[in-house]
Chains A and B, each alone.
Chain A
Amino acid sequence: MATVRKPDHVKYRREGDHGLVYDHENYGYEDASLTTVHSRIVDLLEYVDGSPRPREDLDAAFEQAVVEAAVEEGYVRGD
């Protein structure tokens, strides 16, 4: 996983002291999932949004648990 990016079907925003992630990979709202996430996940998504980043940059900028959660949930993917 040299560089990582946010897939287009993953959308997010800040909501109060946390965040929301909306994922509709398969179709649209019928298959969508909406998840409440920690604000650090939003920080990470903002960090990679629009420009893929080397994985090591993420590891340096964010806690390991945050990076692993974002990868595991598919919020960011390797190119």
Chain B
Amino acid sequence: MATDPLSAPVTITWEVTLGCNLHCDHCLSGSGPGHEMPGELTTEEAKSFIAECDEMDVFQVNIGGGEPFVRSDFLELLEELTGRGISTCVSTNGTQLDEATLDRVESMDPLYLQVSLDGLQAENDAIRGEGVYDAVVDSLERLEDRDIGTTLNTVVTRQNVDDLPEIYDLAREHGAGLRLNRFRPSGRGEDNWDHFRLTTDQIKWLHEWLSDRPKVRTGDSFFYLNAMGEVRNETLKECGAGSMTCLVDPVGDVYPCAFTQWDGLASGNVVEDGFQSAWDEIASLRTEVDDHEGCPAVAIGSDDPSGEDPQLRAILDD
């Protein structure tokens, strides 16, 4: 893919705001209350960007933030996306889903929700804030009877990895899926990398646990190996950052992925340059991303002296 770039990404991640009602310790984008970036896309600019995604035949838009639902025009943007038939997946902290919001979300298709839960009550609330666990469980209970595809999303950390069996049960009890995300040294995670990252033993346990639960989703190249370092899922092997997917930040700047939002890796702006132009430029950045084995974001962000993904090496070298 690096030598023959796609004419457009297959999927993109679009952070629509850095504003959020929560202030999580490990937030990949460093979001929080009042953290909106100056110059976040206006409604009109956002709709123009959506139109260009449609023209480029981007198959799926995955929306994150910040908390997307704190944007006052967010439901309007969702209607614009789904009205064009673009598959849309929204990552939310689950605290803003009142019944009126869910009524409108349920009326849209194709639309999926991914609700964050980073542990059972003690671990989740220690990271995400007091009372958040109860709010998420309340949302899950109300989503259960609605026709909205829902998945719990857990960023796996040293502190919550032992909670995974019960989180898995909680998701199943409410008719939701479970998706695991790797904790990465991005945003506030860069400051807390050594505090939250998994130990080698935890990494091996996690990969073994996953191998017995094929319905747990990962969508993450870190999980292409099993606990023995053997390839268990070829489709997850390739990092698609800058080759199949990219990240658009709240002001429209384009990066290879959500975890590589560094100045040297920006490739244009969807308003000033147009998304097609920014995407075409990414091909020249891809070489830099490709220089690192495993996840480039972890390799670069963790300052590993060998320039490799140290957690991947933990499995391969043992």
Which A positions have Cβ atoms within 8 angstroms of B?
8-9, 11, 13, 15-16, 20, 22, 24, 27-34
Query: Inside 8 A of B87's CB, which chain A residues have their CB?
Result: 9, 11, 24, 28-29
A29 touches B62 (CB 8 A): yes
User: Closest CB of chain B to A5's CB: distance in Å?
Assistant: 14
Q: Take A20-B10, A30-B217 as given contacts and tell me if A8 and B89 are in contact as well, using a CB distance cutoff of 8 Å.
A: no
Q: Take A27-B149, A29-B11 as given contacts and tell me if A13 and B57 are in contact as well, using a CB distance cutoff of 8 Å.
A: yes
A29 touches B110 (CB 8 A): no
Query: Inside 8 A of B89's CB, which chain A residues have their CB?
Result: 28-29
Q: Take A8-B110, A27-B151 as given contacts and tell me if A22 and B219 are in contact as well, using a CB distance cutoff of 8 Å.
A: no
Q: Take A11-B59, A22-B59, A24-B60 as given contacts and tell me if A30 and B179 are in contact as well, using a CB distance cutoff of 8 Å.
A: yes
Query: Inside 8 A of A9's CB, which chain B residues have their CB?
Result: 87, 110
Q: Take A22-B60, A27-B151, A28-B60 as given contacts and tell me if A34 and B10 are in contact as well, using a CB distance cutoff of 8 Å.
A: yes
Partner of A28, one of B10, B112, B244: B112
Query: Inside 8 A of A13's CB, which chain B residues have their CB?
Result: 7-8, 57, 59
Query: 15 interchain pairs (CB within 8 A)?
Result: A11-B87, A13-B8, A13-B59, A15-B7, A16-B7, A24-B87, A27-B177, A28-B62, A28-B87, A28-B110, A29-B89, A29-B219, A30-B217, A30-B218, A33-B235
A30 touches B60 (CB 8 A): no
Which B positions have Cβ atoms within 8 angstroms of A?
4, 6-8, 10-11, 57, 59-60, 62, 85, 87, 89, 109-110, 112, 149, 151, 177, 179, 217-219, 235, 244
Q: Tell which of B8, B11, B235 has the most Cβ of chain A within 10 Å.
A: B11
- A24-B85 Cα distance, complex, nearest whole Å: 13
Query: Inside 8 A of A16's CB, which chain B residues have their CB?
Result: 4, 7
Interface of A is mostly: mixed
Query: Inside 8 A of A32's CB, which chain B residues have their CB?
Result: 11, 60
A34 touches B244 (CB 8 A): yes
Contacts A28-B110, A28-B149, A30-B179 known; 6 new A-B pairs at CB < 8 A? A8-B85, A13-B59, A15-B7, A16-B4, A24-B60, A30-B177
- A11-B10 Cα distance, complex, nearest whole Å: 10
Query: Inside 8 A of B112's CB, which chain A residues have their CB?
Result: 27-28
Query: Inside 8 A of B60's CB, which chain A residues have their CB?
Result: 22, 24, 28-29, 32
Query: Inside 8 A of B62's CB, which chain A residues have their CB?
Result: 28-29
- A20-B8 Cα distance, complex, nearest whole Å: 11
Query: Inside 8 A of B149's CB, which chain A residues have their CB?
Result: 27-28
Q: Tell which of A16, A24, A29, A31 has the most Cβ of chain B within 10 Å.
A: A29
